Structure 1
Amino acid sequence: MRAFVLHDHGLSPTLTEHPAPSPGSGQIRLRIVACGLNFADLLMIRGTYQDTPEPPFIPGMEVAGTVDALGPEVTGFAVGDRVAVFGGRDGLAEYGCFDASRAVGIPDTMDDVTAAGFQIAYGTSHLALDHRARLQPGETLLVLGAAGGVGLTAVEIGKLMGARVIACAGGADKLEAARRAGADHLLDAETADLRTEVKSLGGADVVYDPVGGAQFEAAFRACNPEGRLITIGFASGDIPQIRANHLMVKNLSVLGLYWGGFLQFRPDILTGSLATLMDWHAEGRLKPQISHVLPLDRAEEGLELLRTRRSTGKIVITLPA
């Protein structure tokens, strides 16, 4: 099979011929149709992600495809089923073997490209806003990086949950994407005084932050009493340091969210969230935004779009049937 393989951290993965895998116990093998790219793929390639395997390995954390083989002790799936999987790796290849426990059926209302980019972005935002921050109707949600893969879903889900949404993103095109996703107020990250402008809008009750750095610091200071800041990631490359005494003054809470970690200690919460999201999509309440769809031989181009933040919404890599 063809696969996009990383041979050493810091180098670019290369498209090469690679042995096709065979499913082990409890695994299904997929004929992969599409793979969603994530910022975490870049971290994994650099060797700085929390779950980075040793090279050589195949990046690509989430996929959609068709089951073409079953390993021993697999129940609930049959050859020919369309499924989406958060495998954590091995997605940028024509075939992949994944634990059946991580697979979810794709509803007829969802195409494969959408399914490949759905789980992590929507799952992260839903768990962050619903389970971790307990966002309430009428509260003000500030979304940083609001035009990225997860940011747009946070805008959309926050609006569905009844919040007033302030979206912060860089440039007119990205802000327009956030407006289409439902944002009530738009702030240009390149020009706005974030702290001042958010406070002028009444402050933030919940902050959704995949960016870190200076934007986190400004949002922290723009929070209302009992505000909750959800740390999703650090796309800026700068991990902020929090002074505990500042938390005390306004009774603030800083909450971490690592979506994939729930598979280890509370998989029921993660699968329940995905079931809710699939229902919302089937009901037409979610409108996933796919920024770019590229073939496997242009996967490096897709990673570069992520690296340079030139995408709005998800980037999905497709594989030939």
Structure 2
Amino acid sequence: MRALLSKAPGGPDTLELSELPDPEPGPGQLLVRVKACAINYPDVLIIEDKYQFKPPRPFAPGGEIAGIVDSLGEGVTGWAEGDRLIAMIGHGGLAEKVVVDARQALPLPEGRGFEEGSALILTYATSIHALLDRGRLEEGETLLVLGAAGGVGLAAVELGKAFGARVIAAVSSEAKAEAARSAGADSVLVYPRGPFDKDESKALSKQFKDSVGPDGADVIYDPVGGDYAEPALRSIAWEGRYLVVGFPAGIPKLPLNLTLLKSCDVCGVFWGAFAGRDPGANAAHIRTLFRLWDEGAIAPTVSATWPLERGGEAIAHMAARKAVGKLVVTMD
């Protein structure tokens, strides 16, 4: 089989297309013919050894797949050869075949394509955990979403609307603004590219405040970080919840006096650890996502695809913060 491997720490240009023997499923495992692998920001970090987990090399990045069951390991029940599935696997997805723990796989519904299926779990599961468990979002509240045209951003916009919030989407271009509007955002603001000096930071803060209104944002969903964080925090409501989701613009330093003045919470969001620590609660969220998907309230947006041999380009596109919705690598 072919696989796109990271053999040494580095950027997307260091990935090598290699031939490997097919893996064999062990007890409780499925061998899956990968049809599509979604690219997420952790794929940018993991090949540079900057992610929380550092798999032994060589390894293929790609933690979110859709495919077809090729064979079953000993003791597997509930699955058959030819079944369609989606799965979160951490890494290894940029390969034509991969071994998956049968307990971690989910059936891909009939009528749903592999590309769309591969783009569902990570962004929407992260966002539903963030909004409901960490943000305690309630109907009628105001939700400000930074980076609202990216994968997790669009998911947060759609879920915010599904849960009855007023959603303000913040993006960096008019093209991204259109994507946020299509996802259902009530209003959209286009902010400039950082970094910002003191006056520019103050202007951005006013832009956020004007957009969310005089009462502030009850929940702020921030998958961007960097110089955007403090101006956004300054627009938060009394007892608001600021959700720390990611840092493609850099890890910010927040003045904690702002949390005192607004009596607000700054909440970390680490969906992977949550899913491992409370699998029952995560499974309930997944059921909710599948219901909303079936009802048409959410729909993964795949804006671009690449073949396996050009998978590094997809990761580079993500690293450059050019992604609208999800980027997917296909094997066919």
Normalising by structure 1, we get a TM-score of 0.96
Unaligned runs of 5+ in 2: 194-199
Partner of 2:304: 292
Counterpart amino acid of residue 76 in structure 2: V
Matching residue within 66, 90, 93 for 1:91: 93
Counterpart amino acid of residue 15 in structure 2: P
Counterpart amino acid of residue 89 in structure 1: H
- Give the Cα–Cα distance (whole angstroms) in 2 for the partners of residues 158 and 194 of structure 1: 23
Q: Is the 8 A contact 1:296 1:318 kept in 2?
A: yes
SS at match of 2:32: strand
- Give the Cα–Cα distance (whole angstroms) in 2 for the partners of residues 19 and 262 of structure 1: 34
- Give the Cα–Cα distance (whole angstroms) in 2 for the partners of residues 166 and 277 of structure 1: 22
Over 4 Å off, 4+ runs: none
Q: Is the 8 A contact 2:229 2:254 kept in 1?
A: no
Partner of 2:197: none
Q: Per-residue deviation at 1:213?
A: 1.3
Unaligned runs of 5+ in 1: none
- Give the Cα–Cα distance (whole angstroms) in 1 for the partners of residues 85 and 263 of structure 2: 43
Partner of 2:196: none
Counterpart amino acid of residue 245 in structure 2: I
- Give the Cα–Cα distance (whole angstroms) in 1 for the partners of residues 283 and 310 of structure 2: 32
Q: Per-residue deviation at 1:232?
A: 0.7
- Give the Cα–Cα distance (whole angstroms) in 1 for the partners of residues 81 and 266 of structure 2: 44
- Larger CA deviation: 184-193 vs 252-261: 184-193
Q: Is the 8 A contact 2:34 2:93 kept in 1?
A: yes
Partner of 1:306: 318
Partner of 1:69: 71
- For residues 25-36 of structure 1, the aligned pairs below 5 Å read 25-36=27-38
Normalising by structure 2, we get a TM-score of 0.93
- Give the Cα–Cα distance (whole angstroms) in 1 for the partners of residues 251 and 185 of structure 2: 26
- Give the Cα–Cα distance (whole angstroms) in 1 for the partners of residues 302 and 160 of structure 2: 19
Partner of 1:6: 6
Q: Per-residue deviation at 1:274?
A: 1.2
- Give the Cα–Cα distance (whole angstroms) in 1 for the partners of residues 176 and 253 of structure 2: 28
- For residues 181-196 of structure 1, the aligned pairs below 5 Å read 181-190=183-192, 193-196=203-206
Q: Is the 8 A contact 1:205 1:224 kept in 2?
A: yes
SS at match of 2:47: helix
The root-mean-square deviation of aligned C-alpha atoms, in Å, is 1.4
- Give the Cα–Cα distance (whole angstroms) in 1 for the partners of residues 255 and 77 of structure 2: 50
Partner of 1:48: 50
Partner of 1:177: 179
Q: Is the 8 A contact 1:9 1:55 kept in 2?
A: no
Q: Is the 8 A contact 1:65 1:83 kept in 2?
A: yes
Matching residue within 214, 226, 245 for 2:239: 226
Q: Per-residue deviation at 1:63?
A: 0.2
Q: Is the 8 A contact 2:4 2:17 kept in 1?
A: yes
Q: Per-residue deviation at 1:66?
A: 0.7
